[in-house]
Amino acid sequence: MLKRPSITRGVPRAVNVYTPILVLGLLAFGFAAFSVILATFTGPKRYNRAKVDAYECGIEATPQPMGGGRFPVKYYLTAMMFIIFDIELVFLYPWAVAADQLEVFGLVAIVLFLVNLAVPYIYEWRRGGLEWD
């Protein structure tokens, strides 16, 4: 008579499957909390204007326009462009891995995908999104 594996006894299977994820989550949370708390105790505190800025990047991230100026959206446009190319690359990798199995269909699909991503890029270029000033 075979002995049943003890790991499943009395414990719902689903919980077992997710236990490592739970542990990983707890570890991540613990590490973050640990770092923050440690920093507040050990780090030097010398505040200046640049330090209290959001992101400490030296430029006001969301400047308040005085007397009704335009809201600078240049960073936003840059970020959008990053997304266009970033997403492109992210999807190119898995396609490249399975390109031989997906055959012509995959090739056409990825080309269409690239064309689709090119469209917003063209739009941004034509409407002056690439000019910094």
Partner 1 sequence: MEFISPELDYAALAPMIVVGVAAIISVLVEAFAPRSVRRFLQLVLVFTTLIGALVLVVLNSGMRVLTGGQSIALDGPAWIMQGTILILAILGGLLMAEGGVDPSGDAFAPRASALPGSEDERQFTIRGYLQTEVWPFLLFAVLGMMLFVASNDLLMMFIALEVMSLPLYLLAGMARRRRLLSQEAALKYFLLGAFSSAFFLFGAALIYGYSGSIAFGPISFAITTKAGENTLLLIGIAMLLVGLFFKIGAVPFHQWTPDVYQGAPTPVTGMMAATVKVAAFGALMRLLYVAFGGVRWDWEILLWIVAILSMLVGSIIAISQSDIKRMLAYSSIAQAGFILVGVVAASPQGLASVLFYLIAYGFTTIGAFAVISLVRNASGEATSIRDWAGLGKKSPLIAAIFSVFMLSLAGIPLTGGFIGKWGVFAAGVAAGDAWLVIVAVIASVIAAFFYVRVIVLMYFADPTPDTAAVVIPSGFTTVSLAAGATLTIALGIVPQPILDIIANAGVFIR
Contact between 127 and partner 1 (CB under 8 A)? Answer: yes
User: Which residue, chain included where needed, has tokens 């690439």?
Assistant: 130
Dihedral-angle region of residue 116 (phi above 0 means left; psi in -120 to 50 means alpha; beta otherwise):
alpha
Q: Is residue 10 near partner 1 by the rule CB under 8 A?
A: no
Residues 106-125, one symbol each (x = binds partner 1 by CB under 8 A, - = not), give x---------x--xx-xx-x
Least separation in angstroms between residue 104's CB and partner 1 is: 8
Piece of 24-32, 37-45, 48-56, 99-107 that binds partner 1 (CB under 8 A): 99-107
Q: Tell me how far, at minimum, the Cβ of 109 lies from partner 1, in Å.
A: 8
The answer to whether residue 9 forms part of the interface with partner 1 (CB under 8 A) is no
- How many alpha carbons lie under 13 Å from residue 59 in its C-beta half-sphere? 4
Task: Please count the residues of the chain.
Answer: 133
CA dihedral (104, 108, 113, 117) positive or negative: positive
Asked if 71 is part of the footprint of partner 1 (rule: CB under 8 A), the reply reads yes
How many Cβ atoms from other residues are within 10 Å of residue 84's Cβ? 15
98 belongs to the binding site for partner 1 (CB under 8 A): yes
Helix, strand, coil percentages, rounded to 5, for the chain: 70, 0, 30
Task: Tell me which residues touch partner 1 (CB under 8 A).
Answer: 12, 14, 17, 65, 68-71, 73, 98, 101-103, 105-106, 116, 119-120, 122-123, 125-127
